[in-house]
Structure 1
Amino acid sequence: MITKELFGKKPCGCPVDAYTLTNKNGASVVILTLGGIIQQINMPDRDGKMADLVCG
């Protein structure tokens, strides 16, 4: 599934969107339209607990 939401705006007023791609297991990645920045990668561990793998 792919969802889109407004993340913010650049100083010029142009929108920055966040696209979230999610698979059937609940793993997801959030990508910003500001240079294709990966904001989050969420993956389940062996116990099913979700963890964000992106540092920073």
Structure 2
Amino acid sequence: MRGIVRFIEVWRRWRRRRYEHALLAGMSAAQLQDAGITRSDALEELARPWWRRKTRG
């Protein structure tokens, strides 16, 4: 049972990261500026493998 719970936790984290990736990729320059992120910072983050990306919490 623990294996299934662990799998679901990892899968949820992976889905959340894909969602955040899509949001970041779709942000305009003005939105990035409002968030305090440069376009180059965003591109650098998007180029990283998903398991090495910075995430919230």
- Common fold by TM > 0.5: no
User: Which protein has greater RCO, CA pairs closer than 8 Å, 6+ apart?
Assistant: 2
Q: TM-score range with shorter-chain normalisation?
A: under 0.3
TM-score if structure 2 supplies the norm length?
0.24
Larger of the two Rg values belongs to structure: 2
Structure that is richer in helix per residue: 2
